[in-house]
Structure 1
């Protein structure tokens, strides 16, 4: 009888802890629009070699569930960038990703179809949420422009990461 009570207690504890572990994971919809901008500036860019600080593990974007076009919220911004002189959209991607509490999510490789953009994006979930980007844009193939930023953000808000030669518009939303 005592052994059966112990086994029952152990099953209850295992069930409780496995439910608690599942509860600390949240799924997010991550949407990015990356664009080139041809704005006058006085900065000198002389980076010719990649300086991306690649994480140990890098996930392919295709390994995540892609968000269908009708559920993307930045499509209007992408279309406006296409019509506006001085801007050229490079990429519009949206995917869902599960991030555990107090963890750094998997880094997802971000690449444009023509290869001029390369880098990664990741979420960090702790007391606050942070987005981490390390992207390089090389339109001519010899000069490299780098956008390396970690930024705290609020869910469902549109954020703009700025560089004189390219930018990122990001929106992260929780999925229920």
Structure 2
């Protein structure tokens, strides 16, 4: 009888674990990002010296356990209004789906415009709250240095190009429009909960439910 009781408890524990993992696998989010240029009279000398670009390890077009492609949806109207305005120019507008992992497990998503002017990454991760870490360069005055003979030990050319750099970390919440402000290059982000794609079943899923409210922090 004791053996049967132990087996029953074990079977219940395994079943609960499987149900828990199944629930975790459903906690994916639709992510949509618009990156656009703001026409301003800011002097080039105000921009930082351009160093090595932080590129993402996955892209919106990939399909795996970390990311799945998705059609643009929630920010389509926002992007169109920006395109219609004379003082803005949209360089990047894409959407994808991904789970929200811890900071150590999260992967940066590559952000590259078709005209090669915008390059960098955005990383979404959780530390109590969900955070978005965006790091983009607007290469209007040239790309980063690749010739090490004319560069410093850190790979930055002395007297090299200065370009607008959008680098911010924000604490966000679901369905909220997040605006990354910058005099020259700005971005709008929105994430919404969705069911886990059937094609993406993580072997070691992590779960995180976004809070109903959260304050926004910015860090350069």
TM over 0.5: yes
Match of 2:37 in 1: 36
Separation (CA, whole Å) in 2 of partners of 1:147 and 1:75:
22
Over 3 Å counting, the alpha-carbon distance change for 1:48 and 1:122 in structure 2 is closer
Contact kept, 8 Å, 2:129 with 2:171, in 1: the verdict is yes
Separation (CA, whole Å) in 1 of partners of 2:124 and 2:169:
9
Match of 1:118 in 2: 119
1:1-176 superposed matches below 5 A: 3-25=3-25, 26-41=27-42, 44-50=46-52, 52=54, 58-63=57-62, 64-69=67-72, 72-100=73-101, 103-104=102-103, 105-141=106-142, 142-176=161-195
Contact kept, 8 Å, 1:50 with 1:136, in 2: the verdict is no
Over 3 Å counting, the alpha-carbon distance change for 1:136 and 1:22 in structure 2 is farther
Contact kept, 8 Å, 2:117 with 2:138, in 1: the verdict is yes
* Paired residue secondary structure (1:170): strand
Gaps of 5+ in 1: none
* Paired residue secondary structure (1:61): coil
Over 3 Å counting, the alpha-carbon distance change for 1:98 and 1:48 in structure 2 is closer
Q: How much does 1:51 deviate?
A: 5.1
Gaps of 5+ in 2: 143-160, 196-220
TM-score, length basis structure 2: 0.67
* Paired residue secondary structure (2:46): coil
**RMSD value, Cα:** 2.3
Over 3 Å counting, the alpha-carbon distance change for 1:113 and 1:51 in structure 2 is closer
Contact kept, 8 Å, 2:53 with 2:120, in 1: the verdict is no
Separation (CA, whole Å) in 2 of partners of 1:159 and 1:140:
27
Separation (CA, whole Å) in 2 of partners of 1:20 and 1:135:
37
Q: Structure 1, residues 96-141: CA drift from partner, whole Å, max 9, x if none? A: 11124xx233221111122221111122224322111111110232
Q: How much does 1:2 deviate?
A: 5.1
Separation (CA, whole Å) in 1 of partners of 2:3 and 2:111:
54
Separation (CA, whole Å) in 1 of partners of 2:35 and 2:193:
21
* Paired residue secondary structure (2:68): coil
